[in-house]
Structure 1
Amino acid sequence: MTALGILYPGHFADDDYPRIEQLLGSDIRVDLVHTEIGEDAHRVDALRQMGSPERLATGLQELRLSGAEAVVWASSSGSFVQGFDGAHEQVRGLALAAGLPASSTSFGFVHAAAEIGARRIAVGATYPDDVAALFADFLRAGGLEVAGVLGSRSGTAAEVAGWGEDELFALARAADTPDADALFLPDTALHTVAHIPALEKELGKPVLTANQVTVWEALRLADRRVNAPELGALFTKEPIVQV
Protein backbone atom coordinates (compact mmCIF):
# COMPACT_ATOMS: atom_id res chain seq x y z
CA MET A 1 0.00 0.00 0.00
CA THR A 2 1.28 3.43 -0.99
CA ALA A 3 -0.07 6.25 1.18
CA LEU A 4 -0.04 9.78 -0.22
CA GLY A 5 -0.27 12.76 2.13
CA ILE A 6 -2.23 15.76 0.87
CA LEU A 7 -2.45 19.07 2.77
CA TYR A 8 -5.60 20.75 1.48
CA PRO A 9 -6.71 24.26 2.49
CA GLY A 10 -10.34 24.46 3.56
CA HIS A 11 -13.18 22.29 2.27
CA PHE A 12 -13.93 23.37 -1.30
CA ALA A 13 -13.31 20.66 -3.91
CA ASP A 14 -11.84 18.12 -1.50
CA ASP A 15 -14.35 15.53 -2.72
CA ASP A 16 -12.22 15.30 -5.88
CA TYR A 17 -9.67 13.30 -3.86
CA PRO A 18 -11.82 10.28 -2.91
CA ARG A 19 -12.87 10.19 -6.57
CA ILE A 20 -9.22 10.15 -7.67
CA GLU A 21 -8.40 7.41 -5.16
CA GLN A 22 -11.23 5.31 -6.57
CA LEU A 23 -10.13 5.90 -10.17
CA LEU A 24 -6.55 4.92 -9.43
CA GLY A 25 -7.89 1.43 -8.83
CA SER A 26 -4.79 0.04 -7.12
CA ASP A 27 -3.09 -0.20 -3.75
CA ILE A 28 -2.91 3.57 -3.28
CA ARG A 29 -4.43 5.53 -0.43
CA VAL A 30 -4.93 9.29 -0.60
CA ASP A 31 -4.81 10.73 2.91
CA LEU A 32 -6.31 14.22 3.00
CA VAL A 33 -5.64 16.58 5.91
CA HIS A 34 -7.17 20.05 5.97
CA THR A 35 -5.30 23.24 6.82
CA GLU A 36 -6.82 26.54 7.89
CA ILE A 37 -7.46 28.85 4.97
CA GLY A 38 -7.84 32.06 6.97
CA GLU A 39 -9.43 34.75 4.83
CA ASP A 40 -10.98 33.29 1.69
CA ALA A 41 -9.82 35.83 -0.85
CA HIS A 42 -7.97 35.66 -4.16
CA ARG A 43 -5.58 38.39 -3.03
CA VAL A 44 -1.83 38.02 -2.89
CA ASP A 45 -1.54 38.92 0.81
CA ALA A 46 -4.25 36.45 1.85
CA LEU A 47 -2.82 33.70 -0.34
CA ARG A 48 0.68 34.17 1.06
CA GLN A 49 -0.67 33.89 4.59
CA MET A 50 -2.60 30.74 3.67
CA GLY A 51 0.69 29.11 2.68
CA SER A 52 2.67 30.24 5.72
CA PRO A 53 4.79 27.66 7.59
CA GLU A 54 2.47 27.89 10.59
CA ARG A 55 -0.57 26.99 8.51
CA LEU A 56 1.25 24.18 6.71
CA ALA A 57 2.44 22.67 9.98
CA THR A 58 -1.18 21.90 10.81
CA GLY A 59 -1.89 18.27 10.17
CA LEU A 60 1.66 17.09 9.56
CA GLN A 61 1.65 14.89 12.64
CA GLU A 62 -1.55 13.26 11.43
CA LEU A 63 0.03 12.57 8.05
CA ARG A 64 3.14 11.08 9.62
CA LEU A 65 1.01 8.76 11.76
CA SER A 66 -0.94 7.71 8.68
CA GLY A 67 2.22 6.31 7.12
CA ALA A 68 2.28 8.77 4.23
CA GLU A 69 5.30 8.35 1.98
CA ALA A 70 5.17 11.88 0.55
CA VAL A 71 3.29 15.10 1.16
CA VAL A 72 2.00 17.69 -1.31
CA TRP A 73 0.66 21.14 -0.43
CA ALA A 74 -2.56 21.12 -2.44
CA SER A 75 -2.71 24.77 -3.36
CA SER A 76 -1.51 26.36 -6.56
CA SER A 77 -2.06 29.97 -5.51
CA GLY A 78 -0.81 29.31 -1.99
CA SER A 79 2.54 28.36 -3.50
CA PHE A 80 3.12 30.32 -6.72
CA VAL A 81 2.35 33.67 -5.03
CA GLN A 82 5.58 33.10 -3.09
CA GLY A 83 7.54 33.33 -6.36
CA PHE A 84 9.58 30.45 -7.77
CA ASP A 85 12.37 30.70 -5.18
CA GLY A 86 9.94 31.33 -2.35
CA ALA A 87 7.88 28.30 -3.37
CA HIS A 88 11.07 26.20 -3.26
CA GLU A 89 11.70 27.43 0.28
CA GLN A 90 8.10 26.64 1.17
CA VAL A 91 8.33 22.98 0.13
CA ARG A 92 11.82 22.65 1.58
CA GLY A 93 10.46 23.76 4.94
CA LEU A 94 7.51 21.41 4.56
CA ALA A 95 9.82 18.46 3.84
CA LEU A 96 11.94 19.25 6.90
CA ALA A 97 8.88 19.61 9.14
CA ALA A 98 7.23 16.46 7.81
CA GLY A 99 10.35 14.32 7.48
CA LEU A 100 9.00 13.30 4.06
CA PRO A 101 9.56 14.17 0.41
CA ALA A 102 7.40 17.23 -0.25
CA SER A 103 6.15 19.37 -3.10
CA SER A 104 3.21 21.58 -4.05
CA THR A 105 0.59 21.73 -6.75
CA SER A 106 2.46 24.53 -8.55
CA PHE A 107 5.60 22.44 -8.92
CA GLY A 108 3.38 19.52 -9.89
CA PHE A 109 2.23 21.48 -12.95
CA VAL A 110 5.83 22.08 -14.03
CA HIS A 111 6.82 18.44 -13.54
CA ALA A 112 3.64 17.16 -15.21
CA ALA A 113 4.28 19.34 -18.27
CA ALA A 114 7.65 17.64 -18.68
CA GLU A 115 5.99 14.24 -18.25
CA ILE A 116 3.67 14.78 -21.21
CA GLY A 117 6.18 16.72 -23.30
CA ALA A 118 4.24 19.99 -23.20
CA ARG A 119 6.34 23.14 -23.51
CA ARG A 120 3.81 25.79 -24.54
CA ILE A 121 0.91 26.21 -22.13
CA ALA A 122 -2.46 27.98 -22.10
CA VAL A 123 -3.81 28.87 -18.65
CA GLY A 124 -7.44 29.15 -17.60
CA ALA A 125 -7.36 30.66 -14.12
CA THR A 126 -10.19 31.29 -11.69
CA TYR A 127 -8.11 34.08 -10.15
CA PRO A 128 -8.12 37.81 -10.88
CA ASP A 129 -5.71 38.91 -13.61
CA ASP A 130 -2.93 39.99 -11.24
CA VAL A 131 -2.86 36.63 -9.46
CA ALA A 132 -3.18 34.69 -12.73
CA ALA A 133 -0.16 36.61 -14.05
CA LEU A 134 1.90 35.38 -11.09
CA PHE A 135 1.11 31.78 -12.07
CA ALA A 136 2.27 32.51 -15.61
CA ASP A 137 5.50 33.98 -14.20
CA PHE A 138 5.96 30.82 -12.12
CA LEU A 139 5.56 28.60 -15.19
CA ARG A 140 8.07 30.68 -17.14
CA ALA A 141 10.54 30.39 -14.27
CA GLY A 142 10.02 26.64 -14.51
CA GLY A 143 11.10 26.67 -18.16
CA LEU A 144 7.69 26.70 -19.87
CA GLU A 145 6.32 29.03 -22.53
CA VAL A 146 2.93 30.59 -21.81
CA ALA A 147 0.75 30.94 -24.88
CA GLY A 148 -2.00 32.81 -23.07
CA VAL A 149 -3.51 33.47 -19.66
CA LEU A 150 -7.20 34.00 -18.99
CA GLY A 151 -8.14 35.31 -15.57
CA SER A 152 -11.53 35.42 -13.90
CA ARG A 153 -13.50 37.82 -11.75
CA SER A 154 -13.89 35.17 -9.07
CA GLY A 155 -12.90 36.57 -5.69
CA THR A 156 -13.07 33.52 -3.43
CA ALA A 157 -12.46 29.78 -3.39
CA ALA A 158 -16.02 29.26 -2.13
CA GLU A 159 -17.36 30.86 -5.29
CA VAL A 160 -15.18 28.64 -7.50
CA ALA A 161 -16.24 25.53 -5.59
CA GLY A 162 -19.80 26.26 -6.64
CA TRP A 163 -18.98 26.20 -10.35
CA GLY A 164 -20.54 23.42 -12.36
CA GLU A 165 -19.78 21.78 -15.69
CA ASP A 166 -21.00 24.75 -17.73
CA GLU A 167 -18.67 27.24 -16.03
CA LEU A 168 -15.74 24.82 -16.17
CA PHE A 169 -16.09 24.14 -19.90
CA ALA A 170 -16.64 27.81 -20.65
CA LEU A 171 -13.38 28.67 -18.90
CA ALA A 172 -11.49 25.92 -20.73
CA ARG A 173 -12.81 26.91 -24.16
CA ALA A 174 -12.09 30.59 -23.62
CA ALA A 175 -8.57 29.99 -22.28
CA ASP A 176 -7.32 27.49 -24.86
CA THR A 177 -5.16 28.67 -27.75
CA PRO A 178 -4.46 26.69 -30.93
CA ASP A 179 -0.69 26.80 -30.42
CA ALA A 180 -0.75 25.51 -26.83
CA ASP A 181 0.46 21.96 -26.19
CA ALA A 182 -1.74 21.68 -23.10
CA LEU A 183 -4.26 23.62 -21.04
CA PHE A 184 -3.69 24.21 -17.31
CA LEU A 185 -6.58 24.84 -14.90
CA PRO A 186 -4.75 25.76 -11.67
CA ASP A 187 -7.20 25.92 -8.76
CA THR A 188 -7.70 23.14 -6.21
CA ALA A 189 -11.07 24.71 -5.29
CA LEU A 190 -12.38 23.89 -8.77
CA HIS A 191 -14.15 20.55 -9.29
CA THR A 192 -12.55 19.03 -12.40
CA VAL A 193 -11.79 15.34 -11.90
CA ALA A 194 -15.10 14.05 -13.27
CA HIS A 195 -14.66 16.07 -16.47
CA ILE A 196 -11.02 15.66 -17.55
CA PRO A 197 -11.56 13.08 -20.37
CA ALA A 198 -14.42 15.13 -21.81
CA LEU A 199 -12.36 18.33 -21.65
CA GLU A 200 -9.45 16.65 -23.43
CA LYS A 201 -11.75 15.21 -26.09
CA GLU A 202 -13.31 18.61 -26.79
CA LEU A 203 -10.03 20.54 -26.87
CA GLY A 204 -7.97 17.82 -28.53
CA LYS A 205 -5.04 18.17 -26.12
CA PRO A 206 -4.01 17.29 -22.56
CA VAL A 207 -5.81 19.20 -19.82
CA LEU A 208 -4.03 19.34 -16.48
CA THR A 209 -6.08 20.35 -13.46
CA ALA A 210 -4.96 21.19 -9.96
CA ASN A 211 -6.34 18.27 -7.94
CA GLN A 212 -5.36 15.75 -10.64
CA VAL A 213 -1.82 17.15 -10.76
CA THR A 214 -1.55 17.22 -6.95
CA VAL A 215 -2.08 13.47 -6.67
CA TRP A 216 0.16 12.77 -9.67
CA GLU A 217 2.93 14.80 -8.00
CA ALA A 218 2.53 12.81 -4.78
CA LEU A 219 2.81 9.58 -6.79
CA ARG A 220 5.94 10.92 -8.49
CA LEU A 221 7.51 11.62 -5.10
CA ALA A 222 6.58 8.11 -3.95
CA ASP A 223 8.09 6.67 -7.16
CA ARG A 224 4.79 5.16 -8.28
CA ARG A 225 3.31 5.15 -11.78
CA VAL A 226 -0.36 4.35 -12.31
CA ASN A 227 -2.27 3.93 -15.57
CA ALA A 228 -5.70 5.51 -15.07
CA PRO A 229 -7.25 6.72 -18.36
CA GLU A 230 -10.24 8.21 -16.53
CA LEU A 231 -7.79 10.78 -15.10
CA GLY A 232 -6.65 11.97 -18.50
CA ALA A 233 -3.53 11.99 -20.62
CA LEU A 234 -1.26 12.65 -17.64
CA PHE A 235 -2.10 9.21 -16.28
CA THR A 236 -1.88 7.36 -19.58
CA LYS A 237 1.13 8.70 -21.46
CA GLU A 238 4.54 7.12 -21.28
CA PRO A 239 7.11 9.41 -19.69
CA ILE A 240 8.94 11.71 -22.08
CA VAL A 241 12.68 11.06 -22.31
CA GLN A 242 14.43 14.44 -22.46
CA VAL A 243 17.47 14.57 -24.75
Structure 2
Amino acid sequence: MTADSGAGPTRYAAEAGRDAVGFLYPGYSAEDDYPRLEALLGGAVRLPLVHTDMGEDAHRVDALLEMGSADRLAAGVADLVRQGARAVVWACTSASFVFGWDGAHEQVRELAVTAGLPASSTSFAFVHAARALGVTRLAVAATYPQDVAGHFTAFLKAAGAEVVAERGSGVVTAAEVGTWGREDVLGLARAGDHPDAQAVLLPDTALHTAAWLPDLEAALGKPVLTANQVTVWEGLRLLDRPLTRPGLGTLFV
Protein backbone atom coordinates (compact mmCIF):
# COMPACT_ATOMS: atom_id res chain seq x y z
CA MET A 1 0.00 0.00 0.00
CA THR A 2 1.28 3.51 -0.77
CA ALA A 3 0.56 6.94 0.56
CA ASP A 4 -0.81 7.78 -2.91
CA SER A 5 -3.04 4.70 -3.20
CA GLY A 6 -5.84 5.30 -5.68
CA ALA A 7 -3.98 8.01 -7.58
CA GLY A 8 -3.94 7.23 -11.27
CA PRO A 9 -1.60 7.98 -14.19
CA THR A 10 -3.27 11.33 -14.86
CA ARG A 11 -2.18 12.68 -11.49
CA TYR A 12 1.39 11.51 -11.95
CA ALA A 13 1.51 13.01 -15.44
CA ALA A 14 0.22 16.34 -14.10
CA GLU A 15 2.94 16.37 -11.46
CA ALA A 16 5.72 15.22 -13.75
CA GLY A 17 7.21 18.71 -13.86
CA ARG A 18 8.19 18.53 -10.19
CA ASP A 19 11.15 16.51 -8.96
CA ALA A 20 10.27 13.64 -6.65
CA VAL A 21 12.17 11.81 -3.92
CA GLY A 22 10.68 8.43 -3.05
CA PHE A 23 10.67 7.03 0.47
CA LEU A 24 10.37 3.43 1.64
CA TYR A 25 8.77 3.62 5.07
CA PRO A 26 8.32 0.61 7.39
CA GLY A 27 4.75 0.11 8.59
CA TYR A 28 2.56 2.92 9.88
CA SER A 29 3.43 5.37 12.65
CA ALA A 30 4.67 8.84 11.70
CA GLU A 31 4.38 8.70 7.91
CA ASP A 32 2.19 11.82 8.02
CA ASP A 33 5.39 13.79 8.70
CA TYR A 34 6.17 13.46 4.97
CA PRO A 35 3.18 15.34 3.52
CA ARG A 36 3.71 17.92 6.27
CA LEU A 37 7.35 18.31 5.25
CA GLU A 38 6.35 18.49 1.59
CA ALA A 39 4.00 21.36 2.45
CA LEU A 40 6.69 23.10 4.52
CA LEU A 41 8.99 22.86 1.50
CA GLY A 42 6.40 24.85 -0.42
CA GLY A 43 5.60 22.04 -2.83
CA ALA A 44 8.98 22.47 -4.53
CA VAL A 45 9.40 18.70 -4.66
CA ARG A 46 7.10 15.71 -4.34
CA LEU A 47 7.71 13.21 -1.55
CA PRO A 48 5.86 10.01 -2.51
CA LEU A 49 6.00 7.30 0.13
CA VAL A 50 5.52 3.55 -0.03
CA HIS A 51 4.92 1.46 3.09
CA THR A 52 7.13 -1.61 3.37
CA ASP A 53 6.21 -4.77 5.24
CA MET A 54 8.02 -4.36 8.54
CA GLY A 55 7.44 -7.93 9.72
CA GLU A 56 7.61 -7.85 13.51
CA ASP A 57 7.27 -4.39 15.02
CA ALA A 58 10.13 -4.58 17.50
CA HIS A 59 13.19 -2.50 18.27
CA ARG A 60 15.19 -5.70 18.60
CA VAL A 61 18.27 -6.42 16.52
CA ASP A 62 17.07 -9.65 14.89
CA ALA A 63 13.71 -8.11 13.97
CA LEU A 64 15.40 -4.98 12.62
CA LEU A 65 17.76 -6.98 10.43
CA GLU A 66 14.77 -8.72 8.87
CA MET A 67 12.87 -5.41 8.53
CA GLY A 68 15.73 -3.97 6.51
CA SER A 69 16.34 -7.01 4.33
CA ALA A 70 16.85 -6.50 0.60
CA ASP A 71 13.67 -8.38 -0.34
CA ARG A 72 11.45 -6.22 1.87
CA LEU A 73 12.92 -3.02 0.46
CA ALA A 74 12.85 -4.19 -3.14
CA ALA A 75 9.12 -4.91 -2.95
CA GLY A 76 8.24 -1.21 -2.81
CA VAL A 77 10.70 0.15 -5.35
CA ALA A 78 8.60 -0.31 -8.52
CA ASP A 79 5.78 1.75 -7.06
CA LEU A 80 8.12 4.65 -6.28
CA VAL A 81 9.60 4.51 -9.78
CA ARG A 82 6.07 4.55 -11.22
CA GLN A 83 5.40 7.68 -9.19
CA GLY A 84 8.36 9.42 -10.80
CA ALA A 85 10.94 9.20 -8.01
CA ARG A 86 14.41 10.28 -9.11
CA ALA A 87 16.05 9.10 -5.88
CA VAL A 88 15.05 6.66 -3.16
CA VAL A 89 15.67 6.79 0.59
CA TRP A 90 15.07 3.94 3.06
CA ALA A 91 13.22 5.95 5.71
CA CYS A 92 14.32 3.94 8.71
CA THR A 93 17.20 4.53 11.09
CA SER A 94 17.29 1.40 13.23
CA ALA A 95 16.85 -1.08 10.37
CA SER A 96 19.83 0.46 8.63
CA PHE A 97 22.40 1.16 11.35
CA VAL A 98 21.97 -2.32 12.90
CA PHE A 99 23.73 -3.66 9.80
CA GLY A 100 26.86 -1.78 10.85
CA TRP A 101 28.81 0.72 8.77
CA ASP A 102 29.75 -1.69 5.99
CA GLY A 103 26.46 -3.54 6.01
CA ALA A 104 24.46 -0.31 5.79
CA HIS A 105 26.53 0.69 2.76
CA GLU A 106 25.73 -2.64 1.14
CA GLN A 107 22.02 -2.20 1.94
CA VAL A 108 21.99 1.16 0.14
CA ARG A 109 24.05 -0.18 -2.76
CA GLU A 110 21.55 -3.00 -3.32
CA LEU A 111 18.66 -0.55 -3.11
CA ALA A 112 20.28 1.70 -5.72
CA VAL A 113 20.84 -1.23 -8.07
CA THR A 114 17.24 -2.42 -7.66
CA ALA A 115 15.80 1.04 -8.23
CA GLY A 116 18.29 2.14 -10.87
CA LEU A 117 18.41 5.42 -8.92
CA PRO A 118 20.57 7.17 -6.33
CA ALA A 119 19.72 5.75 -2.91
CA SER A 120 20.45 6.29 0.75
CA SER A 121 19.00 5.64 4.20
CA THR A 122 18.13 7.62 7.32
CA SER A 123 21.29 6.49 9.11
CA PHE A 124 23.48 8.00 6.40
CA ALA A 125 21.21 11.04 6.34
CA PHE A 126 22.19 11.76 9.96
CA VAL A 127 25.87 11.44 9.12
CA HIS A 128 25.64 13.69 6.06
CA ALA A 129 23.47 16.25 7.88
CA ALA A 130 25.89 16.51 10.81
CA ARG A 131 28.79 16.98 8.39
CA ALA A 132 26.88 19.65 6.48
CA LEU A 133 26.37 21.58 9.72
CA GLY A 134 29.98 21.06 10.77
CA VAL A 135 29.00 19.46 14.07
CA THR A 136 31.13 16.59 15.37
CA ARG A 137 30.18 16.33 19.06
CA LEU A 138 26.77 14.73 19.15
CA ALA A 139 24.20 13.63 21.71
CA VAL A 140 21.86 10.76 20.91
CA ALA A 141 18.32 10.95 22.32
CA ALA A 142 16.69 7.72 21.21
CA THR A 143 13.31 6.13 21.75
CA TYR A 144 14.94 2.69 21.48
CA PRO A 145 16.06 0.26 24.15
CA GLN A 146 19.59 1.04 25.30
CA ASP A 147 21.28 -1.75 23.36
CA VAL A 148 19.75 -0.58 20.07
CA ALA A 149 20.70 3.03 20.83
CA GLY A 150 24.24 1.74 21.30
CA HIS A 151 24.28 0.44 17.74
CA PHE A 152 23.43 3.93 16.49
CA THR A 153 26.22 5.40 18.58
CA ALA A 154 28.64 2.86 17.09
CA PHE A 155 27.48 3.80 13.60
CA LEU A 156 28.09 7.50 14.25
CA LYS A 157 31.53 6.77 15.69
CA ALA A 158 32.38 4.76 12.58
CA ALA A 159 31.53 7.91 10.60
CA GLY A 160 34.08 9.86 12.65
CA ALA A 161 31.72 11.62 15.05
CA GLU A 162 32.21 11.97 18.79
CA VAL A 163 29.14 10.89 20.74
CA VAL A 164 29.23 12.75 24.05
CA ALA A 165 25.94 11.37 25.39
CA GLU A 166 23.62 8.47 24.59
CA ARG A 167 20.13 7.97 25.96
CA GLY A 168 17.78 5.08 25.23
CA SER A 169 14.14 5.25 26.28
CA GLY A 170 13.30 1.55 26.26
CA VAL A 171 10.41 1.74 23.79
CA VAL A 172 10.07 -1.58 21.98
CA THR A 173 7.59 -0.81 19.17
CA ALA A 174 7.24 1.84 16.49
CA ALA A 175 3.50 1.81 17.12
CA GLU A 176 4.05 3.17 20.62
CA VAL A 177 6.56 5.76 19.45
CA GLY A 178 4.02 7.00 16.89
CA THR A 179 1.66 8.02 19.69
CA TRP A 180 4.15 10.44 21.27
CA GLY A 181 3.15 14.09 21.21
CA ARG A 182 4.94 17.41 21.43
CA GLU A 183 5.74 17.29 25.14
CA ASP A 184 7.04 13.72 24.88
CA VAL A 185 9.36 14.70 22.04
CA LEU A 186 10.60 17.84 23.80
CA GLY A 187 11.17 15.81 26.96
CA LEU A 188 13.19 13.23 25.04
CA ALA A 189 15.39 15.89 23.46
CA ARG A 190 16.00 17.67 26.76
CA ALA A 191 16.80 14.41 28.55
CA GLY A 192 19.27 13.40 25.86
CA ASP A 193 21.07 16.72 25.57
CA HIS A 194 24.55 17.32 26.97
CA PRO A 195 26.45 20.58 27.56
CA ASP A 196 29.28 19.42 25.28
CA ALA A 197 26.98 18.40 22.41
CA GLN A 198 26.95 20.64 19.36
CA ALA A 199 23.74 18.97 18.16
CA VAL A 200 21.17 16.50 19.45
CA LEU A 201 20.00 13.60 17.27
CA LEU A 202 16.55 11.95 17.55
CA PRO A 203 16.91 8.77 15.46
CA ASP A 204 13.49 7.21 14.88
CA THR A 205 11.29 7.75 11.81
CA ALA A 206 8.35 6.44 13.87
CA LEU A 207 8.60 9.63 15.95
CA HIS A 208 6.54 12.65 14.89
CA THR A 209 8.82 15.71 14.83
CA ALA A 210 8.05 17.72 11.67
CA ALA A 211 5.61 20.04 13.44
CA TRP A 212 7.96 20.81 16.32
CA LEU A 213 11.38 21.42 14.78
CA PRO A 214 11.52 25.13 15.75
CA ASP A 215 10.28 24.27 19.26
CA LEU A 216 13.00 21.66 19.69
CA GLU A 217 15.81 24.00 18.71
CA ALA A 218 14.39 26.85 20.79
CA ALA A 219 14.22 24.57 23.83
CA LEU A 220 17.80 23.31 23.48
CA GLY A 221 19.48 26.35 21.94
CA LYS A 222 21.33 24.23 19.39
CA PRO A 223 20.64 22.25 16.21
CA VAL A 224 18.34 19.26 16.63
CA LEU A 225 18.35 16.64 13.90
CA THR A 226 15.35 14.34 13.71
CA ALA A 227 14.88 11.23 11.62
CA ASN A 228 12.14 12.32 9.21
CA GLN A 229 13.69 15.78 8.83
CA VAL A 230 17.13 14.45 7.84
CA THR A 231 15.60 11.75 5.64
CA VAL A 232 13.87 14.35 3.49
CA TRP A 233 16.99 16.53 3.47
CA GLU A 234 19.01 13.50 2.31
CA GLY A 235 16.63 12.95 -0.57
CA LEU A 236 17.07 16.55 -1.67
CA ARG A 237 20.84 16.09 -1.39
CA LEU A 238 20.64 13.10 -3.72
CA LEU A 239 18.74 15.25 -6.23
CA ASP A 240 21.24 18.09 -5.77
CA ARG A 241 18.27 20.26 -4.81
CA PRO A 242 19.26 22.06 -1.58
CA LEU A 243 16.33 24.09 -0.26
CA THR A 244 16.27 26.82 2.36
CA ARG A 245 13.00 26.95 4.27
CA PRO A 246 11.90 28.43 7.61
CA GLY A 247 10.33 26.10 10.12
CA LEU A 248 12.54 23.12 9.29
CA GLY A 249 15.41 23.75 11.68
CA THR A 250 19.01 24.83 11.27
CA LEU A 251 19.59 22.11 8.68
CA PHE A 252 17.39 23.98 6.20
CA VAL A 253 18.70 27.49 6.93
In the superposition, the TM-score normalised over structure 2's length comes to: 0.92
Match of 2:45 in 1: 28
- Is residue 214 from structure 1 mapped to residue 231 from structure 2 by the alignment? yes
Select 2:119's aligned residue among 102, 124, 132.
102
- Indicate whether 1:123 and 2:140 are aligned: yes
Over 4 Å off, 4+ runs: none
Where in structure 2 are there 5+ consecutive unaligned residues? 1-17
Partner of 2:77: 60
Q: How does 1:164-179 map to 2 (within 5 A)?
A: 164-179=181-196
Q: 1:178 deviation in Å?
A: 0.8
RMSD: 0.6
Tell me the TM-score normalised to structure 1 length: 0.96
Residue 159 (structure 1) aligned with residue 138 (structure 2) = no
Structure number with greater CO (CA < 8 Å, separation at least 6) is 1
CA deviation after TM superposition for structure 1 residue 4, in Å: 0.5
Deviations 1:180-212 (A, max 9, x none): 010000000000010110110110000000000
Displacement of 1:27:
2.4
Cα deviation digits, residues 121-169 of structure 1 (max 9, x gap)? 0000000010000000000001111010000121100010011112111
Determine what percentage of the aligned residue pairs are the same residue.
Answer: 63
Q: Which amino acid aligns with 2:70?
A: P
C-alpha distance in structure 2 between counterparts of 1:198 and 1:27, whole Å? 24
**CA–CA distance in 2 between the matches of 1:72 and 1:226?**
17
Q: Which residue of 2 aligns with 1:181?
A: 198
Letter in 2 for 1:228: R
Q: Deviations over 1:18-77 (max 9, x none)?
A: 000000014210010110010001100000000000100111111111111100000000
The runs of 5 or more residues in structure 1 that have no matched partner are 237-243
Shifted more, 62-71 versus 178-187: the winner is 62-71
Task: Count the aligned residue pairs.
Answer: 236
Q: Tell me which of 80, 83, 90 is aligned to 1:73.
A: 90
- What is the distance in 2 between the residues matched to 1:9 and 1:68? 18
